Amino acid sequence: MKTQIVVVGGGAGGLELVSRLGASFDRKLFDIVLVDLNQTHIWKPLLHEVAAGALDANLDEVGYRSHAFRWGYRYFDGRLESIDREARQIVIAPIMDDNGAEIVARHRIRFDYLVLAVGSVSNDFRTPGVKDHCIFLDDRSQADRFRQRLLNHCLRVSRTLSVDPSAKAYVSVSIVGGGATGVELAAELYNAAAALRYYGLETFDESRLKVTLIEAGPRILPALPEKLADGARKELEALGVRVLSGMPVVEVTEEGVRTKDGEFIQADLRVWAAGVKGPEFLREIGGLETNRNDQIVVRPTLQTTVDDRIFAIGDCCHCVLEEGGRPIPPRAQAAHQMATTAFKNLQLLVAGKPLVPFAYRDHGSLISLSRFSTVGSLMGNLVGGRLAIEGRIARIVYVSLYRMHLVAIHGWLKGSVMIVVGHVNQVIRPKLKLH
Protein backbone atom coordinates (compact mmCIF):
# COMPACT_ATOMS: atom_id res chain seq x y z
CA MET A 1 0.00 0.00 0.00
CA LYS A 2 1.25 3.47 -0.87
CA THR A 3 2.18 5.96 1.83
CA GLN A 4 -0.59 8.56 1.73
CA ILE A 5 0.07 12.22 2.54
CA VAL A 6 -3.12 14.28 2.83
CA VAL A 7 -3.15 18.08 2.77
CA VAL A 8 -6.41 19.76 3.79
CA GLY A 9 -6.70 23.29 2.38
CA GLY A 10 -5.57 24.59 -1.00
CA GLY A 11 -4.63 28.12 -0.04
CA ALA A 12 -1.23 29.75 -0.47
CA GLY A 13 0.58 27.29 1.79
CA GLY A 14 -1.41 24.15 1.01
CA LEU A 15 -1.28 24.47 -2.78
CA GLU A 16 2.44 25.21 -2.77
CA LEU A 17 3.01 22.19 -0.52
CA VAL A 18 1.10 19.64 -2.62
CA SER A 19 2.79 21.00 -5.75
CA ARG A 20 6.20 20.25 -4.29
CA LEU A 21 5.13 16.93 -2.80
CA GLY A 22 3.58 15.76 -6.05
CA ALA A 23 6.63 16.76 -8.08
CA SER A 24 9.19 15.24 -5.68
CA PHE A 25 7.76 12.02 -4.24
CA ASP A 26 7.76 8.78 -6.23
CA ARG A 27 4.19 8.21 -7.40
CA LYS A 28 4.70 4.43 -7.22
CA LEU A 29 5.34 4.68 -3.49
CA PHE A 30 3.44 7.78 -2.38
CA ASP A 31 -0.08 9.07 -2.90
CA ILE A 32 -0.45 12.84 -2.42
CA VAL A 33 -4.02 14.07 -1.77
CA LEU A 34 -5.42 17.60 -1.57
CA VAL A 35 -8.82 18.19 0.04
CA ASP A 36 -10.56 21.56 -0.30
CA LEU A 37 -14.14 22.75 -0.11
CA ASN A 38 -13.71 24.89 -3.23
CA GLN A 39 -12.80 23.69 -6.69
CA THR A 40 -10.50 26.61 -7.50
CA HIS A 41 -7.78 28.60 -5.77
CA ILE A 42 -7.25 32.34 -5.75
CA TRP A 43 -4.51 34.10 -3.81
CA LYS A 44 -6.22 35.51 -0.71
CA PRO A 45 -4.38 38.90 -0.73
CA LEU A 46 -6.17 39.59 -4.04
CA LEU A 47 -9.70 39.26 -2.66
CA HIS A 48 -10.08 42.99 -2.02
CA GLU A 49 -9.50 43.55 -5.76
CA VAL A 50 -12.10 40.89 -6.58
CA ALA A 51 -14.54 42.60 -4.20
CA ALA A 52 -14.07 46.00 -5.85
CA GLY A 53 -14.29 44.54 -9.36
CA ALA A 54 -10.69 45.45 -10.22
CA LEU A 55 -9.75 41.80 -10.73
CA ASP A 56 -11.61 39.12 -12.66
CA ALA A 57 -11.09 36.03 -10.53
CA ASN A 58 -12.03 33.80 -13.46
CA LEU A 59 -8.75 34.79 -15.11
CA ASP A 60 -6.54 34.37 -12.03
CA GLU A 61 -8.03 31.35 -10.30
CA VAL A 62 -6.37 27.92 -10.44
CA GLY A 63 -8.53 24.84 -11.01
CA TYR A 64 -7.45 22.13 -8.59
CA ARG A 65 -8.32 19.23 -10.89
CA SER A 66 -6.16 20.37 -13.81
CA HIS A 67 -3.39 21.50 -11.46
CA ALA A 68 -3.45 18.10 -9.72
CA PHE A 69 -3.08 16.28 -13.03
CA ARG A 70 -0.03 18.35 -13.94
CA TRP A 71 1.71 18.13 -10.55
CA GLY A 72 1.03 14.52 -9.65
CA TYR A 73 -1.43 14.69 -6.76
CA ARG A 74 -5.11 13.84 -6.37
CA TYR A 75 -7.83 16.35 -5.51
CA PHE A 76 -11.04 15.69 -3.57
CA ASP A 77 -13.59 18.41 -2.95
CA GLY A 78 -15.24 18.43 0.43
CA ARG A 79 -15.24 19.95 3.89
CA LEU A 80 -13.21 18.49 6.73
CA GLU A 81 -15.61 17.41 9.48
CA SER A 82 -13.43 15.51 11.94
CA ILE A 83 -10.20 13.56 12.39
CA ASP A 84 -10.03 9.96 13.59
CA ARG A 85 -6.43 9.80 14.80
CA GLU A 86 -6.62 6.16 15.93
CA ALA A 87 -7.77 4.97 12.51
CA ARG A 88 -5.63 7.63 10.76
CA GLN A 89 -8.56 8.88 8.77
CA ILE A 90 -10.20 12.22 8.14
CA VAL A 91 -13.97 12.46 7.85
CA ILE A 92 -15.37 14.53 4.97
CA ALA A 93 -18.84 16.03 5.39
CA PRO A 94 -21.58 15.17 2.88
CA ILE A 95 -21.61 17.25 -0.30
CA MET A 96 -25.02 18.72 -1.07
CA ASP A 97 -26.40 20.51 -4.11
CA ASP A 98 -28.26 23.85 -4.03
CA ASN A 99 -31.56 22.06 -3.41
CA GLY A 100 -30.26 20.14 -0.40
CA ALA A 101 -29.95 16.83 -2.23
CA GLU A 102 -26.94 14.72 -1.29
CA ILE A 103 -24.35 14.37 -4.05
CA VAL A 104 -21.63 12.57 -2.11
CA ALA A 105 -22.27 10.91 1.26
CA ARG A 106 -20.09 11.41 4.31
CA HIS A 107 -16.88 9.49 3.72
CA ARG A 108 -13.39 8.91 5.04
CA ILE A 109 -9.91 9.37 3.58
CA ARG A 110 -7.01 7.54 5.18
CA PHE A 111 -3.68 9.20 5.85
CA ASP A 112 -0.21 8.23 6.93
CA TYR A 113 0.70 11.91 7.30
CA LEU A 114 -1.73 14.81 7.50
CA VAL A 115 -1.15 18.53 6.96
CA LEU A 116 -3.85 21.01 7.97
CA ALA A 117 -3.66 24.21 5.93
CA VAL A 118 -7.25 25.47 6.10
CA GLY A 119 -6.40 29.14 6.54
CA SER A 120 -8.35 31.58 8.67
CA VAL A 121 -11.69 33.34 8.90
CA SER A 122 -12.61 36.81 10.12
CA ASN A 123 -12.76 37.25 13.89
CA ASP A 124 -15.90 39.13 14.91
CA PHE A 125 -14.82 39.22 18.58
CA ARG A 126 -18.46 38.34 19.39
CA THR A 127 -19.54 41.86 18.49
CA PRO A 128 -23.37 42.01 18.28
CA GLY A 129 -24.76 42.07 14.75
CA VAL A 130 -21.53 41.37 12.88
CA LYS A 131 -22.42 37.89 11.62
CA ASP A 132 -25.87 39.00 10.48
CA HIS A 133 -25.11 42.38 8.95
CA CYS A 134 -21.48 42.41 7.78
CA ILE A 135 -19.77 40.99 4.72
CA PHE A 136 -16.46 39.20 5.25
CA LEU A 137 -13.73 38.75 2.65
CA ASP A 138 -12.53 35.28 3.58
CA ASP A 139 -13.07 33.64 0.20
CA ARG A 140 -14.05 34.35 -3.38
CA SER A 141 -17.78 33.80 -2.91
CA GLN A 142 -17.87 36.53 -0.26
CA ALA A 143 -15.83 38.88 -2.45
CA ASP A 144 -18.21 38.23 -5.37
CA ARG A 145 -21.19 38.89 -3.11
CA PHE A 146 -19.76 42.23 -2.01
CA ARG A 147 -19.02 43.27 -5.60
CA GLN A 148 -22.55 42.51 -6.74
CA ARG A 149 -24.12 44.41 -3.85
CA LEU A 150 -21.76 47.33 -4.46
CA LEU A 151 -22.74 47.49 -8.12
CA ASN A 152 -26.42 47.33 -7.21
CA HIS A 153 -26.08 50.34 -4.89
CA CYS A 154 -24.06 52.24 -7.50
CA LEU A 155 -26.78 51.56 -10.05
CA ARG A 156 -29.43 52.77 -7.61
CA VAL A 157 -27.60 56.05 -7.06
CA SER A 158 -26.90 56.47 -10.77
CA ARG A 159 -30.59 56.07 -11.64
CA THR A 160 -31.56 58.52 -8.90
CA LEU A 161 -29.14 61.11 -10.28
CA SER A 162 -30.32 60.59 -13.85
CA VAL A 163 -33.79 61.69 -12.70
CA ASP A 164 -32.64 64.40 -10.29
CA PRO A 165 -28.99 65.53 -10.77
CA SER A 166 -29.17 67.60 -7.57
CA ALA A 167 -30.23 64.65 -5.38
CA LYS A 168 -28.05 63.89 -2.37
CA ALA A 169 -27.61 60.25 -3.25
CA TYR A 170 -24.55 58.31 -2.14
CA VAL A 171 -23.23 54.79 -1.69
CA SER A 172 -21.94 54.51 1.87
CA VAL A 173 -19.50 51.80 2.89
CA SER A 174 -18.16 51.19 6.40
CA ILE A 175 -15.03 49.05 6.70
CA VAL A 176 -14.19 47.84 10.19
CA GLY A 177 -10.48 47.08 10.55
CA GLY A 178 -7.54 49.25 9.60
CA GLY A 179 -5.16 46.47 8.64
CA ALA A 180 -4.00 45.60 5.14
CA THR A 181 -7.36 44.27 3.90
CA GLY A 182 -9.40 47.25 5.12
CA VAL A 183 -6.96 49.87 3.87
CA GLU A 184 -6.47 48.25 0.46
CA LEU A 185 -10.21 47.76 -0.04
CA ALA A 186 -10.94 51.40 0.84
CA ALA A 187 -8.49 52.66 -1.80
CA GLU A 188 -9.63 50.14 -4.40
CA LEU A 189 -13.26 51.25 -4.02
CA TYR A 190 -12.37 54.78 -5.12
CA ASN A 191 -10.48 53.42 -8.10
CA ALA A 192 -13.54 51.39 -9.10
CA ALA A 193 -15.97 54.26 -8.53
CA ALA A 194 -13.92 56.55 -10.78
CA ALA A 195 -14.10 53.99 -13.60
CA LEU A 196 -17.83 53.24 -13.46
CA ARG A 197 -18.73 56.28 -15.56
CA TYR A 198 -17.05 54.59 -18.52
CA TYR A 199 -19.16 51.46 -18.17
CA GLY A 200 -22.70 52.73 -18.40
CA LEU A 201 -23.11 54.66 -15.14
CA GLU A 202 -22.46 58.09 -16.65
CA THR A 203 -23.83 60.01 -13.68
CA PHE A 204 -21.81 58.12 -11.06
CA ASP A 205 -18.27 58.91 -9.94
CA GLU A 206 -16.09 58.77 -6.83
CA SER A 207 -17.76 61.87 -5.39
CA ARG A 208 -20.87 59.72 -4.83
CA LEU A 209 -18.95 57.26 -2.67
CA LYS A 210 -18.66 57.63 1.10
CA VAL A 211 -16.20 55.24 2.73
CA THR A 212 -15.50 55.14 6.47
CA LEU A 213 -12.54 53.11 7.73
CA ILE A 214 -12.85 52.27 11.44
CA GLU A 215 -9.91 51.00 13.49
CA ALA A 216 -10.06 50.10 17.18
CA GLY A 217 -6.33 50.55 17.69
CA PRO A 218 -4.49 53.88 17.98
CA ARG A 219 -3.59 53.93 14.26
CA ILE A 220 -4.15 52.07 11.02
CA LEU A 221 -1.57 49.63 9.62
CA PRO A 222 0.15 48.76 12.91
CA ALA A 223 2.55 46.42 11.07
CA LEU A 224 4.13 49.40 9.28
CA PRO A 225 6.38 52.11 10.71
CA GLU A 226 4.33 55.01 12.06
CA LYS A 227 5.58 57.41 9.38
CA LEU A 228 4.40 55.15 6.56
CA ALA A 229 1.08 54.46 8.29
CA ASP A 230 0.50 58.20 8.64
CA GLY A 231 1.34 58.63 4.96
CA ALA A 232 -1.20 55.97 4.01
CA ARG A 233 -3.81 57.65 6.20
CA LYS A 234 -3.24 61.00 4.47
CA GLU A 235 -3.47 59.31 1.08
CA LEU A 236 -6.79 57.71 2.02
CA GLU A 237 -8.18 60.98 3.37
CA ALA A 238 -7.14 62.74 0.16
CA LEU A 239 -9.24 60.20 -1.75
CA GLY A 240 -12.23 60.95 0.47
CA VAL A 241 -12.03 58.14 3.04
CA ARG A 242 -13.04 59.08 6.57
CA VAL A 243 -10.46 57.37 8.78
CA LEU A 244 -11.36 56.77 12.45
CA SER A 245 -8.73 55.28 14.78
CA GLY A 246 -9.02 54.44 18.47
CA MET A 247 -12.69 53.74 17.81
CA PRO A 248 -13.90 50.21 18.73
CA VAL A 249 -17.17 49.06 17.17
CA VAL A 250 -19.73 47.82 19.69
CA GLU A 251 -22.67 46.96 17.43
CA VAL A 252 -23.59 46.49 13.78
CA THR A 253 -27.15 46.80 12.49
CA GLU A 254 -28.81 46.61 9.10
CA GLU A 255 -28.53 50.39 8.84
CA GLY A 256 -24.93 50.90 9.96
CA VAL A 257 -22.23 50.69 12.61
CA ARG A 258 -22.22 51.98 16.20
CA THR A 259 -18.90 52.92 17.82
CA LYS A 260 -17.93 52.87 21.49
CA ASP A 261 -18.30 56.65 21.83
CA GLY A 262 -21.94 56.38 20.73
CA GLU A 263 -21.62 57.58 17.13
CA PHE A 264 -23.82 55.76 14.62
CA ILE A 265 -22.36 55.59 11.09
CA GLN A 266 -24.95 54.88 8.42
CA ALA A 267 -23.77 52.40 5.81
CA ASP A 268 -25.34 50.63 2.84
CA LEU A 269 -22.53 48.08 2.94
CA ARG A 270 -20.67 46.93 6.04
CA VAL A 271 -17.37 45.04 5.73
CA TRP A 272 -15.68 43.35 8.70
CA ALA A 273 -11.91 43.06 8.35
CA ALA A 274 -10.88 43.50 11.99
CA GLY A 275 -8.81 40.39 12.59
CA VAL A 276 -8.59 36.66 11.86
CA LYS A 277 -8.93 33.38 13.73
CA GLY A 278 -9.03 29.70 12.92
CA PRO A 279 -12.26 28.19 11.55
CA GLU A 280 -14.55 27.03 14.36
CA PHE A 281 -14.54 23.42 13.20
CA LEU A 282 -10.88 23.21 14.27
CA ARG A 283 -11.82 23.64 17.93
CA GLU A 284 -10.17 20.60 19.53
CA ILE A 285 -10.65 18.61 16.31
CA GLY A 286 -9.35 15.09 16.72
CA GLY A 287 -8.22 15.92 20.23
CA LEU A 288 -5.57 18.31 18.89
CA GLU A 289 -4.51 21.22 21.07
CA THR A 290 -5.99 24.56 20.01
CA ASN A 291 -5.77 28.09 21.38
CA ARG A 292 -8.62 30.48 22.18
CA ASN A 293 -8.70 31.61 18.54
CA ASP A 294 -9.32 28.05 17.32
CA GLN A 295 -5.81 27.77 15.88
CA ILE A 296 -3.95 24.47 16.13
CA VAL A 297 -0.95 24.66 18.45
CA VAL A 298 2.22 23.33 16.81
CA ARG A 299 5.82 22.79 17.82
CA PRO A 300 8.70 24.53 15.99
CA THR A 301 8.80 21.56 13.58
CA LEU A 302 5.18 22.44 12.66
CA GLN A 303 3.99 19.11 14.06
CA THR A 304 0.98 19.23 16.35
CA THR A 305 1.67 18.90 20.05
CA VAL A 306 -0.18 15.58 20.41
CA ASP A 307 0.47 13.76 17.10
CA ASP A 308 3.78 13.63 15.23
CA ARG A 309 2.05 12.55 12.03
CA ILE A 310 -0.13 15.65 11.85
CA PHE A 311 1.21 19.06 10.81
CA ALA A 312 -0.46 22.46 10.61
CA ILE A 313 0.75 25.42 8.55
CA GLY A 314 -0.41 28.92 7.67
CA ASP A 315 -3.06 31.02 9.36
CA CYS A 316 -4.73 28.02 11.03
CA CYS A 317 -1.73 27.23 13.23
CA HIS A 318 -0.40 28.82 16.40
CA CYS A 319 3.38 28.65 16.25
CA VAL A 320 5.73 30.17 18.82
CA LEU A 321 9.40 29.56 18.06
CA GLU A 322 10.93 30.50 21.41
CA GLU A 323 9.84 30.66 25.02
CA GLY A 324 7.87 33.84 25.62
CA GLY A 325 8.04 34.80 21.94
CA ARG A 326 5.24 36.13 19.78
CA PRO A 327 3.23 33.81 17.50
CA ILE A 328 4.06 33.78 13.81
CA PRO A 329 1.75 36.37 12.18
CA PRO A 330 -1.01 35.23 9.80
CA ARG A 331 0.55 36.41 6.53
CA ALA A 332 0.97 34.92 3.07
CA GLN A 333 4.77 35.05 3.42
CA ALA A 334 4.53 32.97 6.62
CA ALA A 335 2.35 30.36 4.87
CA HIS A 336 4.84 30.19 2.01
CA GLN A 337 7.77 29.66 4.37
CA MET A 338 5.86 27.10 6.43
CA ALA A 339 5.05 25.13 3.27
CA THR A 340 8.77 24.91 2.54
CA THR A 341 9.58 23.68 6.06
CA ALA A 342 6.68 21.20 6.09
CA PHE A 343 7.90 19.79 2.77
CA LYS A 344 11.42 19.30 4.14
CA ASN A 345 10.16 17.75 7.36
CA LEU A 346 7.85 15.32 5.57
CA GLN A 347 10.84 14.14 3.56
CA LEU A 348 12.89 13.76 6.74
CA LEU A 349 10.05 12.06 8.63
CA VAL A 350 9.57 9.48 5.88
CA ALA A 351 13.31 8.85 5.83
CA GLY A 352 13.43 8.46 9.61
CA LYS A 353 15.75 11.44 10.09
CA PRO A 354 15.56 14.30 12.63
CA LEU A 355 13.27 17.16 11.68
CA VAL A 356 14.32 20.80 11.35
CA PRO A 357 12.65 23.69 13.19
CA PHE A 358 10.79 26.38 11.29
CA ALA A 359 12.68 29.67 10.98
CA TYR A 360 10.51 32.65 10.12
CA ARG A 361 12.09 35.48 8.16
CA ASP A 362 10.03 38.64 8.16
CA HIS A 363 10.51 40.28 4.78
CA GLY A 364 8.36 43.23 5.74
CA SER A 365 4.88 44.46 4.85
CA LEU A 366 3.59 46.14 1.72
CA ILE A 367 0.24 47.87 1.31
CA SER A 368 -1.24 48.74 -2.08
CA LEU A 369 -3.51 51.78 -2.27
CA SER A 370 -4.73 50.68 -5.69
CA ARG A 371 -3.29 52.79 -8.54
CA PHE A 372 -2.81 55.72 -6.18
CA SER A 373 0.18 54.59 -4.14
CA THR A 374 2.04 51.68 -2.52
CA VAL A 375 3.81 51.86 0.83
CA GLY A 376 5.65 49.40 3.00
CA SER A 377 8.84 48.27 4.65
CA LEU A 378 11.37 45.63 3.72
CA MET A 379 13.07 43.84 6.59
CA GLY A 380 15.53 41.17 7.58
CA ASN A 381 18.11 39.56 5.34
CA LEU A 382 16.52 41.14 2.29
CA VAL A 383 17.97 44.57 3.04
CA GLY A 384 20.08 44.01 6.17
CA GLY A 385 17.62 45.76 8.46
CA ARG A 386 14.40 47.74 8.02
CA LEU A 387 13.91 49.92 4.96
CA ALA A 388 10.83 52.05 4.39
CA ILE A 389 9.79 52.20 0.74
CA GLU A 390 6.95 53.77 -1.19
CA GLY A 391 5.96 54.79 -4.68
CA ARG A 392 7.08 52.94 -7.81
CA ILE A 393 9.68 50.77 -6.08
CA ALA A 394 7.17 49.62 -3.49
CA ARG A 395 4.66 48.85 -6.23
CA ILE A 396 7.19 46.70 -8.10
CA VAL A 397 8.00 44.73 -4.96
CA TYR A 398 4.29 44.35 -4.13
CA VAL A 399 3.50 42.93 -7.57
CA SER A 400 6.52 40.62 -7.37
CA LEU A 401 5.03 38.87 -4.31
CA TYR A 402 2.14 37.55 -6.40
CA ARG A 403 4.52 36.62 -9.20
CA MET A 404 6.55 34.54 -6.76
CA HIS A 405 3.35 32.74 -5.75
CA LEU A 406 2.56 31.98 -9.40
CA VAL A 407 6.01 30.54 -9.93
CA ALA A 408 5.71 28.47 -6.74
CA ILE A 409 2.48 26.75 -7.82
CA HIS A 410 3.04 26.59 -11.60
CA GLY A 411 6.81 26.35 -12.04
CA TRP A 412 9.08 28.85 -13.78
CA LEU A 413 7.91 28.21 -17.35
CA LYS A 414 4.13 28.34 -16.91
CA GLY A 415 4.42 30.90 -14.12
CA SER A 416 6.37 33.25 -16.42
CA VAL A 417 3.83 32.77 -19.21
CA MET A 418 0.98 33.60 -16.82
CA ILE A 419 2.78 36.78 -15.72
CA VAL A 420 3.04 37.87 -19.37
CA VAL A 421 -0.62 36.97 -20.00
CA GLY A 422 -1.56 39.03 -16.95
CA HIS A 423 0.13 42.09 -18.47
CA VAL A 424 -1.72 41.52 -21.75
CA ASN A 425 -5.06 41.21 -19.96
CA GLN A 426 -4.47 44.55 -18.26
CA VAL A 427 -4.47 46.12 -21.73
CA ILE A 428 -7.19 44.21 -23.55
CA ARG A 429 -9.64 43.34 -20.76
CA PRO A 430 -12.12 45.80 -19.19
CA LYS A 431 -10.79 47.64 -16.14
CA LEU A 432 -13.72 46.45 -14.04
CA LYS A 433 -15.63 43.18 -13.74
CA LEU A 434 -19.30 44.15 -13.81
CA HIS A 435 -20.97 40.74 -13.89
- CA atoms of 154 and 132, how far apart (whole Å): 22
Q: Could you read off the pLDDT of 118-175 as tens digits, one per residue? A: 999 999 999 999 999 999 999 999 999 999 999 999 999 999 988 898 888 999 999 9
| CATH node for 3-120+278-351 | 3.50.50.60
Burial class from Cβ neighbours inside 10 Å (0-12, 13-18, 19+) for residue 47 reads buried
- Give me the CATH topology for the region 149-267: FAD/NAD(P)-binding domain (3.50.50)
Quick one: what percent of the chain has pLDDT higher than 70? 86
pLDDT for the residue 391: 52
CB-CB neighbours of 279 under 10 Å: 19
- Apex 85 CA angle, 83 and 87, nearest 5: 105
pLDDT for the residue 372: 59
pLDDT band at 407 (very low <50, low <70, confident <90, very high): confident
Sign of CA dihedral 395, 401, 402, 404: positive
Q: Where are the domains of the chain?
A: 3-120+278-351, 149-267, 364-428
- CA atoms of 29 and 26, how far apart (whole Å): 5
- pTM confidence score: 0.89
Closest CA to 430 of 189, 192, 176, 133: 192
Q: Could you read off the pLDDT of 257-273 as tens digits, one per residue? A: 999 999 999 999 999 99
- Domains 3-120+278-351 and 149-267 belong to one CATH topology: yes
